[in-house]
A = this chain, B = another copy of it.
């Protein structure tokens, strides 16, 4: 009989390597929001370059959030970056998304990680990503300003009312 590796094991962050597999199938997860050129630094914009940020959560984590106003352990939230462009087909104004992702990052909740959450950035080859070092800017900013449990629920229009109703948004 063939031995199957339990899904939980495949998804677990190894304590030694702190590596995470690429979140295959995240485009079929729950879409939380999309922003364009968002930045907490007004000077950061690159003229002529536009980036959409698409955010997805695992369906099971999303459903738990709807019930409790916060995320269960092992939650993965994906940030996908795609180029924005104006002219193409019949479009003449505004901006639409085009091409392959320019980046994919995962924010994963794991009680075994320092601070309870880790960030992982994936390259084009989709190979497993090492956890980002604790002094990376993402940790500080998410801890300081994330509305719910280090996540930016203040920018997720379907989850913010849930967090407010459950009293979990700060």
Is A82 among interface residues, defined by CB-CB distance under 8 A? yes
Q: Determine how many copies of this chain the complex contains.
A: 2
A contact residues, range = 35 or more
A95 in contact with B44 (CB, 8 Å): no
With contacts A28-B30, A34-B54, A157-B82 known, is A41 near B98, CB below 8 A? no
A45 in contact with B145 (CB, 8 Å): no
Interchain CA distance A141-B90 in the complex, whole Å: 9
A95 in contact with B37 (CB, 8 Å): yes
Is A88 among interface residues, defined by CB-CB distance under 8 A? yes
B89 in contact with A37 (CB, 8 Å): no
Tell me which of B27, B34, B59, B95 contacts A158 (CB under 8 A): B27
B38 in contact with A145 (CB, 8 Å): no
28 A-B residue pairs with Cβ-Cβ distance under 8 Å, sorted by A, are: A27-B30, A27-B31, A28-B62, A31-B31, A31-B54, A33-B96, A34-B34, A34-B54, A34-B97, A35-B96, A36-B94, A36-B95, A37-B94, A38-B94, A38-B96, A39-B92, A39-B93, A39-B94, A40-B90, A44-B93, A45-B94, A82-B157, A88-B154, A89-B155, A90-B141, A90-B145, A97-B157, A98-B157
Q: CB within 8 Å of B: which residues of A?
A: 27-28, 30-31, 33-42, 44-45, 52, 54, 56, 59, 62, 82, 84, 88-100, 141, 145, 147, 152, 154-155, 157-158
